[in-house]
Copies of this chain bind each other. A is one copy, B any other.
């Protein structure tokens, strides 16, 4: 970006003293207050001059590292034809997240959420031989997703800027190399952006494909939860695959027994009643972990089909909706409502037990249905075969104890949907997990041949045989990166930009009414611009020093230079925004001192 001199007397900027109504997160509040961005509609933002500078710097870092791995920049449209997305079924699978529109001729189109289809078709058009590959293409482009709950400012917008790239290879080894090259580039990019991040195993979601990893900026405001093990294992909770607990010996467990449990609306009250009235056969007290909770939800397919599902898990755990959603995608998880209960009388709300569940409907000798609802029933991997549970008896006010998995009930399979907690054992078998939250900054996928197959992208191999190309898809949230950097770099006074993405290198504040101060400050600003640096210069004649200092802190440029009273004695102050350190330098050596600061 060319060096620029931004005078606050004319810069299109008004800082706000009050927090904006729409801003939930500290970093986003400051981006709005300091005049970087402005909301235009829910999840849709305008970039004001300072914001556009930061965005441009992030884009440039991404572009340089993409170019460095030989990826070639292109730009595809945002307004796209429907047909390719129908061929891959994403037109349907994206559900309500896709912005669809109809043109004046009645032709259905969409606003692109990602561009796998378009890139695949274009490569198919241009290339035909293994000699043309490998190929990596990228674009930095505006994308659209009709989020159900646009929130958190730029972190989850409906219009946003992404870098998306796509690799094309003949062989699996080639894909692995392309994937690794992108992974390395991403490490460089997020290092350069100054983000504290972690690379975690991820689910591929609507993208399809096999292996995928996410780059998460570690942040308490992140929407993603990830786990780390003691052995380097790291994964998005959505991708954590806990081992099924080994079978236990149930020979000592007495026969199941139905017990009256009036007034036990919660697991805690149930446990209390059981301990008081129905001690465990092995003498150990009942805990919530001994109860089997059956959570019933309604899955909704992109086509609108509704299918109930019950998740069985220990009563001391909650279902993690994001983990569940990742397992059932592209189905969405909806509420199992009163009307649904009415349709399934086998389900007794509050007393649902495994004997009412499962796809295989049990029949008695006469062939009549006994009790099962036919609803799919999946168990948490912690529910070992042979383990005994207290759970609902499918009658109001009645529970059952000593119900043994494999002896007294079966399920349709296992599901990874329970919340993961700090201290849970790692799926690697070594040590325990710790959890933290992160912002998804990048996602890299080994797509494999899904898109190439759906759209017929084949090339001739060395033997003249047509082979299907294997692809990778790699995204970076560019506008989201601006937000993530902001969230990670604030203090009580405002934003604190890392130098490499700051909207300017130096913020010069001229104070007082002495004309000489403004002459010196202007000259200093011009000298720095001439050296290739961008400068914000607060030349406002009638604004108090206090307001100017507050604005400088709020805007958050790394080096603040104050030209004021000290100038009479030949002194200028340099302040480091992050550390707060101030020092005086002689006016004569100010340019050199500031240049040294910038270079440090």
Chain A positions within 8 Å of B, measured between CB atoms, are 2, 4, 10-14, 35, 38, 40-41, 44-49, 52, 55, 67, 70, 72-81, 96-97, 99-101, 103-104, 109, 111, 118, 122, 125-127, 135, 137, 142, 144, 146, 148, 158-159
Take A12-B137, A122-B46, A126-B14 as given contacts and tell me if A74 and B52 are in contact as well, using a CB distance cutoff of 8 Å: yes
Complex Cα distance, B75 from A111, in Å, reads: 19
Whether A104 contacts B96 in the complex (CB less than 8 A), given A4-B67, A75-B47, A75-B52, comes out as yes
Q: Complex formed: what's the CA distance from A122 to B44 in Å?
A: 14
Dominant SS among interface residues on chain A: mixed
A10: chain B residues within 8 A (beta carbon): 70, 135
The residues of B that contact A41 with a CB separation of less than 8 Å are: 77, 79-81, 109
The one of B11, B79, B118 that contacts A144, using a Cβ cutoff of 8 Å: B79
Report yes or no: B47 in contact with A74, Cβ–Cβ below 8 A. Answer: yes
Q: Decide: B49 and A111 in contact? CB cutoff 8 A.
A: no
In the bound complex, do residue B76 and residue A46 qualify as a contact, i.e. CB atoms below 8 Å apart? yes
Known: A41-B79, A79-B144, A125-B38. A74 touches B101 (CB 8 A): no
- A127 (CB) vs chain B CBs: closest residue: B14
29 of the cross-chain contacts (CB-CB < 8 Å) are A2-B67, A12-B126, A12-B137, A13-B126, A14-B127, A35-B126, A38-B125, A40-B81, A40-B118, A41-B77, A41-B80, A41-B109, A44-B77, A44-B79, A44-B81, A46-B76, A46-B77, A46-B118, A47-B76, A48-B74, A48-B122, A49-B74, A52-B75, A78-B159, A79-B144, A79-B158, A79-B159, A99-B103, A103-B158
Would you give the shortest CB distance from A69 to chain B, in whole angstroms? 12
Nearest chain-B residue to A84 (Cβ)? B40
* Chain B residue at minimal CB-CB distance from A123: B12
- A38–B142 touching, CB < 8 Å: no
Give 17 A-B pairs besides A46-B77, A52-B73 with Cβ atoms closer than 8 angstroms.
Answer: A2-B67, A10-B135, A14-B127, A38-B125, A40-B80, A41-B109, A46-B74, A47-B76, A49-B74, A52-B74, A78-B142, A79-B144, A79-B158, A99-B101, A103-B146, A104-B148, A142-B142
A173 to chain B, nearest CB (A): 19
Which residue among A10, A46, A126 has the maximum number of chain B CB atoms within 10 Å of its CB? Answer: A46
CB distance from A370 to the nearest CB of B (A): 42
Q: How far is the CA of A12 from the CA of B167 in the complex (A)?
A: 12
Chain B residues with Cβ under 8 A from A78's Cβ? 78, 142, 159
Give the distance to chain B from A221, nearest Cβ to Cβ, in Å.
Answer: 23
| A183: min CB distance to chain B, Å | 21
| Min distance, Cβ A540 to any Cβ of chain B, angstroms | 10
- Pick the 3 closest A-B CB pairs, nearest first: A101-B101, A96-B104, A47-B75
Contacts of A118 in B (CB 8 A): 40, 46
Are B99's CB and A73's CB within 8 A? no
A159: chain B residues at CB < 8 Å are 77-79
- What residues of chain B lie closer than 8 Å to A74, measured between beta carbons? 12, 46-49, 52
Partner pick for A77 among B12, B40, B104, CB 8 A cutoff: B40
- In the complex the two chains form, is A76's CB within 8 Å of B40's CB? yes
CB neighbours of A4 from chain B (8 A): 67
A101 to B158, CA, bound (A): 13
Q: Which residue of B lies closest to A40 (CB)?
A: B77
CB neighbours (8 Å) of A2 from chain B are: 67
Chain B min CB distance to A537 (Å): 14
- Nearest Cβ on chain B to A1's Cβ, whole angstroms: 10
Given contact pairs A41-B80, A80-B41, A125-B38, A11 touches B72 in the complex (Cβ within 8 A): yes
Min CB distance, A539 to chain B, in Å?
Answer: 13
CB proximity of A394 to chain B, nearest CB, Å: 37
A63 CB → nearest B CB, Å: 9
Is there contact, CB below 8 Å, between B99 and A100?
A: no
Do residues A122 and B47 form an inter-chain contact, with CB atoms below 8 A? no
Q: How far is the CA of A72 from the CA of B127 in the complex (A)?
A: 42
Which of B49, B96, B137 contacts A73, CB < 8 Å? B49
CB distance from A122 to the nearest CB of B (A): 6
A12 CB contact (under 8 Å) in B14, B135, B158: B135
